[in-house]
Amino acid sequence: MTVITSIEDLRVLARQRVPRMFYDYVDVGSWTESTYRANEQDFQKILLRQRVAVNLAQRSTRATMLGHDVAMPVAIAPTGLTGMQHADGEILAARAARRFGVPFTLSTVSICSIEDVAEGTGGHPFWFQLYVMRDRDFVTRLIERAKAANCSALVLTLDLQISGQRHKDLKNGLSAPPRLTLLNLLNMAGKPRWCAGMLGTRRHTFGNIIGHVKGVDNMTSLAEWSSQQYDPALSWEDVAWIRRLWDRKLVLKGIQDVEDAKLAAASGADALIVSNHGGRQLDGAPSSIRALPAIVDAVGDRIEVHMDGGIRSGQDVLKAVALGAKGTYIGRSMLYGLGAMGEAGVTRALEIIHKELDLTMAFCGHTDIRDVDAGVLLPASF
Ligand SMILES: Cc1cc2nc3c(=O)[nH]c(=O)nc-3n(C[C@H](O)[C@H](O)[C@H](O)COP(=O)(O)O)c2cc1C
């Protein structure tokens, strides 16, 4: 048995255990993948400042995100089809996050439904990510369902009115459940753990949608409905509408530009996430860590600024916090853990990141994450 010591180890194991179509769905960016790569690479360019002979005996990574006490400033990002990385994936990831003391965000296009996750986590609050669909009645009902399930924050994604093109997904014929072509069957035959898990659950398709939209009760009608539903007409008026419907914490996800950050700050939302959707939408956009400082400068005193994109280690988290992020989110780092080892793998991913964050903070001469600022970075490096 391999000893897992890094997120990269989890990625390698996930590639062995998850059918190719679903592994590729995670490890992919849009078009040339330049933004996907930049998200990771730009973190590497930022250098940390080592300090010595500081009393490091007592240390804390505890912080707050949206007023919630968290074990570290890291939340689980919303990711679609998570229940295809591992059977009942969203429930398992939500449990791991809860035990670790970090927020879990459920995607609109999850496999396990809002109600499944609420039940699977014993009614403990989680966060729900909303895609605004053309069918506004469906959106209103989703919001009601999220309220009833005790969701404490709504993460409204603004950067997917239209979908970026990911070559591998098209070539693999991505679908949930996978179509049983000869090629898919051959590939799945080599993933016995994954298959056993899938045979043991009834959750194989979009749990928030199927059975909740009139006329959408099977795969064919679902495929037809979803292909037309992302709303290209989404605007700041819809943000205002959702602000009126949702009286708990509201987070706007997918902000990359200072002008949009100012609009987000004026919208009455509680936080924004500097994000390029993990390099899956506008290929050629800057990495999130590069976009972050200007946004913090412009609106950081008016709205809580979070970020995601490219976080594969605790060092990355520390750098984001140093550049002003009050919270970060992990997408792929969580998904690799889930694909590799289910709930234990998500826990492992969180433990790895936490340990790296704690030690890196200490090497930089700090004992409390809440005191970390740009002083931990070498100025010439960012
Ligand atoms: C496989 C996958 C599916 C995703 N699905 C969603 C989604 O349903 N809703 C959403 O707002 N963002 C989605 N995202 C974007 C993530 O929330 C997040 O912005 C991104 O993963 C951060 O980058 P990282 O993967 O490098 O951590 C997805 C990302 C991945 C990798």
pLDDT 10s digits, 174-196: 989 999 999 999 999 999 999 99
Q: What is the mean pLDDT of residues 324-329?
A: 98
Q: Is 277 in the pocket of ligand 1 (CB under 6 A)?
A: yes
- Whether 2 is covered by a domain: the verdict is no
Q: Which of 28-37, 159-168, 254-263 has the lowest mean pLDDT?
A: 159-168
Residue 216 has a pLDDT of 86
- Which pair of structure tokens corresponds to residue 100? 């670790």
Interstrand relation of 249-255 and 271-274 (parallel, antiparallel or unpaired) = parallel
- Whether 58 is covered by a domain: the verdict is yes
Q: Is 90 in the pocket of ligand 1 (CB under 6 A)?
A: no
Nearest atom in ligand 1 to 273's CA: 19
Of 163, 164, 158, the closest CA to residue 234 belongs to 158
Ligand 1, atom 21: nearest CA belongs to which residue? 331
The Cβ of residue 300 has, within 10 Å, a number of other Cβ atoms equal to 17
Q: Which residue has the tokens 């490219």?
A: 310
* Per-chain mean pLDDT for the chain: 96
Mutation test of ligand 1: which of 82, 129, 251, 277 has the most ligand atoms closer than 8 Å to its C-beta? 277
Residue ranges in 156-210 assigned as alpha helix (H): 167-172, 182-189, 192-199
C-beta separation of 258 from 292 below 8 A: no
Nearest atom in ligand 1 to 25's CA: 1
Burial class (CB in 10 A: 0-12, 13-18, 19+), 222: buried
Q: What is the pLDDT of residues 3-54, one digit of tens each?
A: 999 999 999 999 999 999 999 999 999 999 999 999 999 999 999 999 999 9
The secondary structure element, H or E, covering residue 93 is helix 89-100
- Whether 132 is covered by a domain: the verdict is yes
Q: How far apart are CA 352 and CA 92, in angstroms?
A: 18
d(CA 280, ligand 1 centre) in Å: 8
- Which pair of structure tokens corresponds to residue 144? 């009601």
Which residues form the catalytic set? 277
pLDDT band at 164 (very low <50, low <70, confident <90, very high): very high
Q: What is the pTM of this model?
A: 0.98
Looking at the chain, the whole-number percentage of residues with pLDDT higher than 90 is 92
Q: What is the pLDDT of residues 129-160, one digit of tens each?
A: 999 999 999 999 999 999 999 999 999 999 99
- CATH code at position 178: 3.20.20.70
Nearest atom in ligand 1 to 129's CA: 11
Q: How far apart are CA 76 and CA 346, in angstroms?
A: 10
Q: Is 222 in the pocket of ligand 1 (CB under 6 A)?
A: no
pLDDT, greater one: 1 or 134: 134
Residue 1 has a pLDDT of 61
- Whether 195 is covered by a domain: the verdict is yes
- Whether 282 is covered by a domain: the verdict is yes
d(CA 331, ligand 1 centre) in Å: 5
Domain that holds residue 276: 7-381
Q: Is 25 in the pocket of ligand 1 (CB under 6 A)?
A: yes
Q: Is 328 in the pocket of ligand 1 (CB under 6 A)?
A: no
Ligand 1, atom 2: nearest CA belongs to which residue? 79
- Whether 101 is covered by a domain: the verdict is yes
Of 226, 268, 263, 220, the closest CA to residue 243 belongs to 268
Nearest atom in ligand 1 to 108's CA: 8
d(CA 309, ligand 1 centre) in Å: 8
Cα 358 to chain centroid, rounded: 22
The yes-or-no verdict on residue 382 having pLDDT over 80 is no
d(CA 279, ligand 1 centre) in Å: 9
Q: Is 353 in the pocket of ligand 1 (CB under 6 A)?
A: no
- Whether 313 is covered by a domain: the verdict is yes
Q: Is 255 in the pocket of ligand 1 (CB under 6 A)?
A: no
Q: Is 278 in the pocket of ligand 1 (CB under 6 A)?
A: yes
Total of domains in the chain: 1
- Whether 20 is covered by a domain: the verdict is yes
